[in-house]
Structure 1
Amino acid sequence: MYTETSTHILLTGGQGKTSSRIAQLLHGQGYLIRRAGRSISKPGNEQVGEHAPFDWFDDSNHDDLLQDVHAVYLVAPASMHPEEVMIPFIRRALDASVRRFVLLSSASIPENGPVFGPVHRYLREHAPEWAVLRPSYFMQNLTDARHGHGQSLRQSGHLYTAAGDGKIGFVDADDIAAVGFHALTDKEPHNRELIITGPESLTYDDVAGVIRSVTGLNAKHIRVTPEQLTERHKAAGLPESYAEYLAGMDVRIRLEGMEDQVTDTVLRVTGREPRSLEQFILEHRHGFHLINQEVR
């Protein structure tokens, strides 16, 4: 149990896929948590730590959020230029004597890339202690009804991508959170980027095949054009520039293989093997059986 300090770890994106899981891990080890986000926990959902309202684009309470904080987990807003609000926030945190920062980025986006890249670079150049998590695509996207894949599986049993035969090292958010927990709490700072993948690299055809074999759902991968995928993202509420960028990432997966990699990060950092997609779907098969009933 952690008992050395009364200061908090601030988790932005407090109800998100990784922040919520990191919160549970931190709480289990006795850390004080401040979960910051625009959404609040729904009635009946377990809430650990204190919750504070937070909006990247409204800095009126940012100084208050950073009081008595020694580490921050950074989850960017859905924007092509999150550095415009994130770097000023990081400066405030540094002025408030926060020492450690962990950024959630993407395996697709290096330090010299767009979106998260400028924030990645700023942390490396200015933060005393830092880590950048660069996970591959989340397995939870297949089960989350708010995500395009989870939604389309519920509506039709299909996965729509412009990725073709490109491969991806799909990773469980639990494994990402476990790495994030260590990056936030290990005595020695990581001071590096951490590319996080599952144990294998798969095409979307492979993914549909695993879903079929494990659940009986007649899942199919439907190949669409980047333009069609952009329209799907926009229909889901994403800004046009961000929707176009995400569709373009599918093209790069297909043409450049930019997500076709497998790393040992989960094992090296946490001491356990990452969960495979088959294991993940097997553990969530009840949800897929419900989908099967909906799309028949």
Structure 2
Amino acid sequence: MSATHQPVLLVTGASGHMGRRVIELLLDAQAGPIIATTRTPASLSDFSARGVTVRRADFDDPATLPDAFAGADRLLLISTDAVGMSDRRIRQHLAAVQAAQDAGVSHVVYTSLPNPGPESPISLAPDHQATEDALAASTMGWTALRNNVYTEMLPGALAQAIQMGSLYRASGDGKVGYVTREDCARAAAAALVAPFTGRRTLDITGPDALSGADLAALASSISGKPVTYVPLPPDVLRENLRKAGLPGPVIDVIVSFDEAAAQGLLDVVTSAVEDLTGHAPMPVAEFLAQNKEVLLGTPQR
């Protein structure tokens, strides 16, 4: 690549929340050229109007990927929405990694999760470990962004806890380095445009790790109502969620994340967001204060 060449940046899953936000950030920064891939190109007509090249890519149909990835220098591989379908998700990701290498992509940025190795009880961990292994076995440079649990998961759960006066979890005394989707998107966009060409693993986290007791205290402080943290055994939480009518795969994800937290696997806090973007990540307390109406169940303006 010549010194004057502007790297062509490709974002997969561009119709999703993360993909759309990353492309918005890239456009705001006047980075690019930008390629956006999706199963539904018509849904990205607004980006086409802004100069983004939109291409169809279906990870379940590897034959669509060579044309979709052609000409890309750096590629953001956003983990797919086949959550709870591990075999399918792994096939999707491995097809994308192979296609990226075949297309001559020099660097892949991948959205993973903390500590995805065999010690993790998280039901999604094998998907991410297999993808990281495929990147390690490739000839490309890569950046694995191990995104911690999204802070956006908290307002709904804490609103329910405020109503009941109790926050029920199977995370014991374990802590989680919650991080907002916005900070994850900013980190991904920054890693995609960065000149880094080697191989690295970065834990993408908020500025603090919080326990269930910490969350209950925040909920109580914001609402003015007493909220107590009640740790439960995983089997009891699983049965409670089953009785609440949640689907089995969703229950598996929820309980397995709590089990990982109890084991300390999500108690990870780094400066990676600030290192990549130049801006500190948002604390949980600030995010919850901004979403106070959700916690209190009041109509949002």
Q: With structure 1 as the length reference, what TM-score do the two structures score?
A: 0.78
Report the residue type matching 2:152 in the other structure: Q
Who wins on radius of gyration, i.e. which is larger? 2
Residue in structure 2 matching 1:69, options 54, 68, 72: 72
Q: State whether structure 2 residue 185 is matched by structure 1 residue 184.
A: no
Structure 1, unmatched stretches of 5+, are none
* C-alpha displacement of 1:203: 0.9
Q: Which residue of the partner structure matches residue 282 of structure 1?
A: 289
Distance in 2, matches of 1:151 and 1:74, equals 33
Distance in 2, matches of 1:52 and 1:129, equals 23
Residue 268 and residue 286 in structure 1: after superposition, are their counterparts in 2 closer, same or farther (change >3 A)?
A: same
Distance in 2, matches of 1:97 and 1:64, equals 12
Q: Which residue of the partner structure matches residue 122 of structure 2?
A: none
* C-alpha displacement of 1:220: 5.8
* C-alpha displacement of 1:250: 1.6
After TM superposition, the structure 1 stretch with the greater mean CA deviation from structure 2, 153-162 or 191-200, is 153-162
Q: With structure 2 as the length reference, what TM-score do the two structures score?
A: 0.77
Q: Which residue of the partner structure matches residue 244 of structure 1?
A: 252
- Any residues of structure 2 matched to 1:7-156 within 5 Å, and which? 8-30=8-30, 31-38=32-39, 49-77=52-80, 78=83, 79-81=85-87, 82-110=89-117, 114-143=126-155, 149=157
Q: Report if aligned partners of 1:108, 1:136 keep a CA contact under 8 Å in 2.
A: no
Residue 217 and residue 63 in structure 1: after superposition, are their counterparts in 2 closer, same or farther (change >3 A)?
A: farther
Q: Report if aligned partners of 2:135, 2:142 keep a CA contact under 8 Å in 1.
A: yes
Q: Report if aligned partners of 2:158, 2:219 keep a CA contact under 8 Å in 1.
A: no
Distance in 2, matches of 1:154 and 1:55, equals 42
Q: Report if aligned partners of 2:73, 2:107 keep a CA contact under 8 Å in 1.
A: yes
Deviations 1:93-140 (A, max 9, x none): 211111110111101314996221121122123142210001211111
For the residue of structure 2 that corresponds to 1:69, the secondary structure is coil
For the residue of structure 2 that corresponds to 1:115, the secondary structure is helix
Q: Report if aligned partners of 2:166, 2:229 keep a CA contact under 8 Å in 1.
A: yes
Report the residue type matching 1:164 in the other structure: G
Q: Report if aligned partners of 1:166, 1:257 keep a CA contact under 8 Å in 2.
A: yes
After TM superposition, the structure 1 stretch with the greater mean CA deviation from structure 2, 152-161 or 81-90, is 152-161
Report the residue type matching 1:34 in the other structure: I
Taking only aligned residues, the RMSD between alpha carbons, in angstroms, comes to: 3.8
Structure 2, unmatched stretches of 5+, are 120-124
Instruction: Number of aligned residue pairs: give it.
Output: 284
Q: Report if aligned partners of 2:159, 2:295 keep a CA contact under 8 Å in 1.
A: no
For the residue of structure 1 that corresponds to 2:59, the secondary structure is coil
Report the residue type matching 1:80 in the other structure: S
